[in-house]
Amino acid sequence: MNKNTTKKLIGQPIFTQILNLIPKGIIRRKAKEKKTDRYCKSFTTEKHLICLLFGILSKCNTLRELCEGILACEGKLNHFGLMKTPSRSTISDANNRRSNEVFEAMYFGLVDYFRSILSDSRKLMLSIKKLFIIDSTTIKLFSDILQGVGRNPKNQGKKKGGIKVHMLIDAVENIASMVLITAAKVHDSTFLKTLRLSEGSFVVFDKAYNHYKRFAIWTESKINFVTRMKTNAVYEVEEVLNENTSQSGAGVHKEEIIILNYKEKKENKKLRLRRITYVDEQGREYVFITNNFEITAEEVALIYKYRWQIELIFKKLKQNFPLKYFYGESENAIKTQIWCTLIANLLITVLKLKSKTDKAFSNIVSIIRMHLLSYIDVLEFLKDTFTAWRRYQFEDYQTGFFT
């Protein structure tokens, strides 16, 4: 059989192609800024990131699995400086001692780097462009590293430890643009104090974040919000703008201007908001409040509907990546793994967009995990898995790649 000289063989496994998405300048610059390689002899921040990404993408549940699995990469990551598999104690020490802040800085550096790929304002069917979504998710820990939330169990003694990931995402980019990791007992509303939003922004969240004083500050700063009203909220009706008493189907049933009372420095203050009663297609009633008096009531309901995007992100992170088990028991090790999981999620999101595949995110993660060390073009493989695999098998056979 004649050799086909037009065949194109990929010289790097899929894992290496994923790592190549990360500009080395970002890793080294952030490591220099945070001084995380200052007293390091050989296991640099870059090598640390490579090892953790391998464990996360291959879904290793323990540090032993990670170290034994990465043996298959020996000789394939030389250009990243990883000449041999580091020992468990080396990775464990790095997880405990190397500040998780460097991985946080890397994540946001990568978000800025990939912003042009991630952004698509056509995703929003709204007149507004700057829409941000806030929520949090709790990750239970088996050991009492960080204080848990809720009451102590009756039969199990004290409650388990827990960590809470507070997140703000850009609805256009659909990726975390601000993250705060705290103990599970920290109340959701404390995250609002850390936000830095520009004038004209819209932010949407559930009723757990209701904080009237913060709402007043946003109103003065011309920052808009949409949320649900608590059932026990006390308010006065200033004016009824619209009321459809005859309407029984889905849509806006009532629109009012209300006054809420709150205290600031022991003084009673008043906050003027819109209150919208909306019924969805399943007959469920929602009561929204907002400080914006210009957009339509239907848009307010649609904005709150976009809040579901952040729930899907939390679901993706928990279902597709190893966040039930951690590679260390210290607070720093846990936060480091969470930041590296966010980096892995970002890289796979970029691959999905670049390959223009219709595959589900979970399907992409599974394909990458099973073929992490396969020598095949990852973008072609994601776009049409069976065709790409058969083509490369045929090419490899003709060129004697497996001989």
Tell me how far apart the alpha carbons of residues 37 and 53 are, in angstroms, rounded to a whole number: 19
- Cβ 401 vs Cβ 374: under 8 Å: no
| Ramachandran class of 265: left when φ > 0, alpha when ψ lies in -120 to 50, beta otherwise | left
Tell me how far apart the alpha carbons of residues 80 and 82 are, in angstroms, rounded to a whole number: 6
pLDDT for 146 equals 53
User: Does residue 144 surpass a pLDDT of 60?
Assistant: no
Tokens linked to 44: 């640099």
CB-based contacts of 341, cutoff 8 Å, min separation 6: 56, 317, 321, 322, 323
In degrees and rounded to multiples of 5, residue 285 shows phi and psi of -100, 135
Confidence of residue 122 (pLDDT cuts 50, 70, 90): low
pTM of the model: 0.86
User: Does residue 200 surpass a pLDDT of 60?
Assistant: yes
Lowest-confidence pick of 53-67, 83-97, 108-122, 265-279: 108-122
Tell me how far apart the alpha carbons of residues 359 and 389 are, in angstroms, rounded to a whole number: 16
Helix and strand counts by DSSP (H, E) for the chain? 14, 9
Confidence of residue 1 (pLDDT cuts 50, 70, 90): very low
Tell me how far apart the alpha carbons of residues 217 and 201 are, in angstroms, rounded to a whole number: 13
Q: Where are the beta strands (DSSP E) in 185-284?
A: 202-204, 224-228, 236-243, 251-264, 267-279
**Cβ neighbour number for residue 396 with a 10 Å cutoff:** 17
Confidence of residue 160 (pLDDT cuts 50, 70, 90): low
- Percentage of residues in the chain having pLDDT higher than 70: 88
User: Does residue 368 surpass a pLDDT of 80?
Assistant: yes
Question: In this structure, which amino acid lies at residue 196?
Answer: R
Domains in the chain: boundaries: 14-99+339-399
Which residue would you say has higher pLDDT here, 267 or 96?
Answer: 96
- Percentage of residues in the chain having pLDDT higher than 90: 51
* 216-234 tens-digit pLDDT: 999 999 999 999 999 899 9
Angle at 180 between CA 47 and CA 115, to 5 degrees: 65
Which residue would you say has higher pLDDT here, 64 or 392?
Answer: 64
Going by C-alpha positions, the residue among 130, 127, 146 that lies closest to residue 138 is: 146
Count of all residues that appear for the chain in the document = 403
What is the average pLDDT across 347-363?
A: 93
pLDDT for 69 equals 87
